[in-house]
Structure 1
Amino acid sequence: IHEDSLPKVTGKGLVSDTEFVVKYSELLEEILGFGITQKLPFKGKFFYKSCYQLGPDNVEYGKVHYGGQRETMLVELNGTGCQAAIPGWENRLYEFLSKCIRPKITRVDVAHDFFNGEYTPDQALLDHDNGHFDVHNMRPKSECRGTAWRNDDGSGKTFYVGKRGNSKFTRVYEKGKQFGDVNSPWIRF
């Protein structure tokens, strides 16, 4: 979001970087149930000048990147942070973003676990071949990784659709085997 979103939403003039970070932490506390707990000893990603931790010291819920980058702020909320957020956070976040200047969601990572192997990398390969991953009649590139595709050695199979860095990227892999359980049916999509 643009930095000017905070004064617009809160109705308070903010001048210093510290005021912006404190106010943003308070807003995140209202939305998620937790805010910024500490400044991290390194710069933020994507050319931001500073980086702050969301959530308690012993568990990372995400990060806030601030300073530079065309007067914007970036919030990264990881899976642990999504689980820790108080119920209804999605609607509160939507309400907040609808009042902001130039809000933009740049990336969303979603995973689904098939603990009993209800969907497999082999099925994903077949679905790809049958056009189920096509977009606008274009079939994305795909890739099979892992020696288990030719000889099931227990190391696991991974099937990729698309390429990293593209707007859409899918990975279907044998998660249980990644952890060393050669008999695990656990698949992550």
Structure 2
Amino acid sequence: MNSKSKKMHRITTCAIFSALTAILAQIEIPLPIIPISGQTLAVGITATILGSRLGAIAMICYVLIGAVGVPVFAGFSGGLQVLAGPSGGYIMGFILAAFATGMILEKTRFNYLYAVIANTVGMFITLVFGTIQMKYVLDVNWQEAMLAGVYPFIIVGFIKVLMASWIGIIVRNRLIHANLMVEKIA
């Protein structure tokens, strides 16, 4: 594959995973302030398959598409007001979560155990970013921010960690086996 083809392949791949995130964002369980959505599942799957660089780029694309008003965030929402609102920190945290998850896998191995560890780190990065922004946007104390922004997401978060790790490793291995992806993504 020549340089131009590789670049087009990377752009297309990032667009596909941004779209996956937008689709899974619409699967949600409403809660009073922040819904439980499939976005974080998509972040984990993306990072587990693509690694740090492309995983983070896919999430940057997702955030930018939503920032300009395309309704790709949970509840078919979009716009800068979402990023500046109580849930904006979670969405912005997807970028670092994808990068960190992918980086851990690149520095260790792309297998289920390391994927669970990496996705757990990613989950906590998202929760930290989200809770910090929620605390300041809603002007609540840390206990209230934790009650609304962390505790409701822990159990479901670990379920999504297990799912993202399992799906991500299986899909990644199949893509490599089918010569649709190389083991080391540059």
Q: What TM-score, normalized by structure 1, do the two folds share?
A: 0.26
Q: What TM-score, normalized by structure 2, do the two folds share?
A: 0.26
Q: Which of the two has greater strand per residue?
A: 1
Higher relative contact order (CA 8 A, sep 6+): 2
